[in-house]
Chains A and B, each alone.
Chain A
Amino acid sequence: MVVEAKTRINLREISNKEDKLAPGHRLCLGCAEGIVVRQVLHAIDYPVVVCSPTGCLEICTGLFPYTAWRVPWVHSAFENAASTIAGVEAAYRALKRRGKIEDRVIKFVVFAGDGATYDIGLQWLSGALERGHTFLYICLNNEAYMNTGIQRSSATLKWTWTTTTPVGKVIPGKKESRKDMTAIIAAHNIPYVAQAAPHAWRDLMTKVRKAIAVDGPSFINILCPCVRGWRYNSKDTIAISKLAADTCVWPLYEVDHGIWRLNYKPSPQRPLTDWFLSQGRFSHLVAPDNANLVIELQQCIDQEWAKLEKLCQCFAD
Chain B
Amino acid sequence: MSGNRLKGELKALEGDNAVAEAMRQINPDVVAAYPITPQTEIVMTFSEFVANGLVDTEFLAVESEHAALSACIGAALAGARALTATCGPGLALMWEMLWIASSWRLPIIMNVVNRAFSSPLNILCSHDDAMGSRDAGWIQLYAESQQEAYDNTLQAVRIAEHPDILLPVMCCLDGFVLGHTLEPVEVLPDEVVKEWAGTYNPCYSLLDIDHPVTYGAADFTDYYFEHKRPQWEAMERAPKVILDIGEEFGKVTGRYYHLVDSYRLDDADVAVVVLGATSGAVRVAVDRLRKNGIKAGMLKLRCFRPFPAQQVVQALQGKKAVAILERVAFFGAEASPVFLEVATAFYLRGVSTKLINYTYGLGGRDTVPGQICGVFQDLIDITQTGKTEPIFRYLGLRDF
Which residues of A lie under 8 Å from residue B208 when comparing CB positions? 72
Beyond A76-B100, A84-B73, A84-B74, list 19 extra A-B contacts (CB 8 Å): A49-B206, A64-B218, A64-B219, A69-B214, A74-B74, A74-B216, A76-B216, A77-B97, A80-B66, A83-B70, A83-B74, A86-B32, A87-B30, A87-B73, A87-B80, A88-B206, A91-B80, A124-B64, A131-B60
Q: Is A67 interfacial (CB-CB < 8 Å)?
A: yes
A85 touches B29 (CB 8 A): no
Q: In the complex, what distance in Å separates the CA atom of A79 from the CA atom of B74?
A: 14
Known contacts A58-B218, A79-B66, A100 near B209 by CB under 8 Å: no
Contact residues of B between 90 and 116, Cβ < 8 Å to A: 96-97, 100
Tally of contact residues, B, Cβ under 8 A: 45
Q: In the complex, what distance in Å separates the CA atom of A76 from the CA atom of B80?
A: 17
B212 touches A72 (CB 8 A): yes
Which residues of A lie under 8 Å from residue B58 when comparing CB positions? 90-91, 93-94
- A86, A90, A100: residue with the most chain B Cβ atoms closer than 10 Å: A90
- From A86, A101, A123, A126, B60 is in contact (CB under 8 Å) with A86
Which residues of A lie under 8 Å from residue B321 when comparing CB positions? none
Pull 24 A–B residue pairs with CB atoms less than 8 Å apart, ordered by A: A62-B214, A67-B217, A72-B208, A72-B209, A76-B73, A76-B97, A79-B66, A84-B70, A87-B70, A87-B75, A87-B82, A88-B75, A89-B74, A90-B32, A90-B80, A91-B58, A91-B75, A91-B207, A94-B30, A94-B75, A94-B80, A95-B207, A101-B79, A123-B67
Q: Is A75 interfacial (CB-CB < 8 Å)?
A: yes
- From B29, B80, B216, A75 is in contact (CB under 8 Å) with B216
Known contacts A95-B207, A124-B66, A124-B67, A76 near B74 by CB under 8 Å: yes
B70 touches A92 (CB 8 A): no
Q: In the complex, what distance in Å separates the CA atom of A86 from the CA atom of B57?
A: 14
Contact residues of A between 66 and 123, Cβ < 8 Å to B: 66-67, 69-77, 79-80, 83-95, 97-98, 100-101, 104, 106, 123
Contact residues of B between 44 and 84, Cβ < 8 Å to A: 56-58, 60-64, 66-68, 70-80, 82
Shortest beta-carbon distance from A142 to chain B in Å: 19
Which residues of B lie under 8 Å from residue A62 when comparing CB positions? 214, 216-218
Which residues of B lie under 8 Å from residue A131 when comparing CB positions? 60-62
A85 touches B74 (CB 8 A): yes
> How would residues 182 to 205 of chain B score, 1 for a CB under 8 Å from any chain A CB and 0 otherwise?
000000000000000001000001
Q: Is B223 interfacial (CB-CB < 8 Å)?
A: yes
Which residues of A lie under 8 Å from residue B67 when comparing CB positions? 80, 83, 86, 123-124, 127-128
Which residues of A lie under 8 Å from residue B207 when comparing CB positions? 49, 72, 88, 91-92, 95, 101, 106
- A77, A83, A97: residue with the most chain B Cβ atoms closer than 10 Å: A83
Contact residues of B between 323 and 372, Cβ < 8 Å to A: none
Known contacts A64-B219, A80-B67, A70 near B73 by CB under 8 Å: no
Q: In the complex, what distance in Å separates the CA atom of A80 from the CA atom of B57?
A: 22
- From B60, B205, B219, A90 is in contact (CB under 8 Å) with B60
Tally of contact residues, A, Cβ under 8 A: 48
Shortest beta-carbon distance from A34 to chain B in Å: 17
Q: Is A304 interfacial (CB-CB < 8 Å)?
A: no
Q: In the complex, what distance in Å separates the CA atom of A101 from the CA atom of B206?
A: 11
> How would residues 204 to 236 of chain B score, 1 for a CB under 8 Å from any chain A CB and 0 otherwise?
011111001111111100010001000000000
Q: Is A130 interfacial (CB-CB < 8 Å)?
A: yes
Known contacts A74-B74, A74-B77, A91 near B209 by CB under 8 Å: no
B78 touches A92 (CB 8 A): yes
Q: Is A3 interfacial (CB-CB < 8 Å)?
A: no
Known contacts A67-B217, A90-B30, A101-B207, A95 near B79 by CB under 8 Å: yes
Q: Is A266 interfacial (CB-CB < 8 Å)?
A: no
Residue of B nearest to A104 (CB): B209
Q: In the complex, what distance in Å separates the CA atom of A90 from the CA atom of B58?
A: 6
A87 touches B71 (CB 8 A): yes
B70 touches A74 (CB 8 A): no
Q: Is A47 interfacial (CB-CB < 8 Å)?
A: yes
Which residues of B lie under 8 Å from residue A95 when comparing CB positions? 29, 78-80, 207
A83 touches B29 (CB 8 A): no
Shortest beta-carbon distance from B199 to chain A in Å: 7
Residue of B nearest to A20 (CB): B212
Residue of B nearest to A75 (CB): B216
Shortest beta-carbon distance from A95 to chain B in Å: 6
Which residues of A lie under 8 Å from residue B217 when comparing CB positions? 62-67, 75
